[in-house]
Structure 1
Amino acid sequence: MKIDKIIGRRIEKGRRRRGLYQGELGAEVGRSESWVGQVERGIISLDSVSMAERLA
């Protein structure tokens, strides 16, 4: 499995555990709902280590 999909699944799992919608998580990290969805599906990669830290 591609690393972007693995990371995306972990982000989705954490978001759901916190009870957040994609738009809410996006607002917390300064990105759109669409961006969160694409990252969660492995369509796009996280663009920086700092963004990964903000999502964590």
Structure 2
Amino acid sequence: MTGWLSRYGLAIWHIGLACLQCPDDPALLREAAGDLLCFGPDWDENAEALKARAAQLES
């Protein structure tokens, strides 16, 4: 693989897997959201959704 996927695709896959394994862990969701924000604006909407889910779980 070359290009963007080889550099970032696996990392994003790991973030998704962690969230699937522990979907009710607010700390993990927030950490994953922070990681997604590092990948650029294409992932901002997903990061915001994870942060909102974490806030919902804590309320």
Which category describes the TM-score, using the shorter chain as reference length? 0.3 to 0.5
Q: TM-score, normalised to structure 1's length?
A: 0.37
Q: State which structure, 1 or 2, has the greater radius of gyration over its C-alpha atoms.
A: 2
TM-score of the pair, normalised by structure 2 = 0.36
Where relative contact order (Cα < 8 A, 6+ residues apart) is larger, the structure is: 1
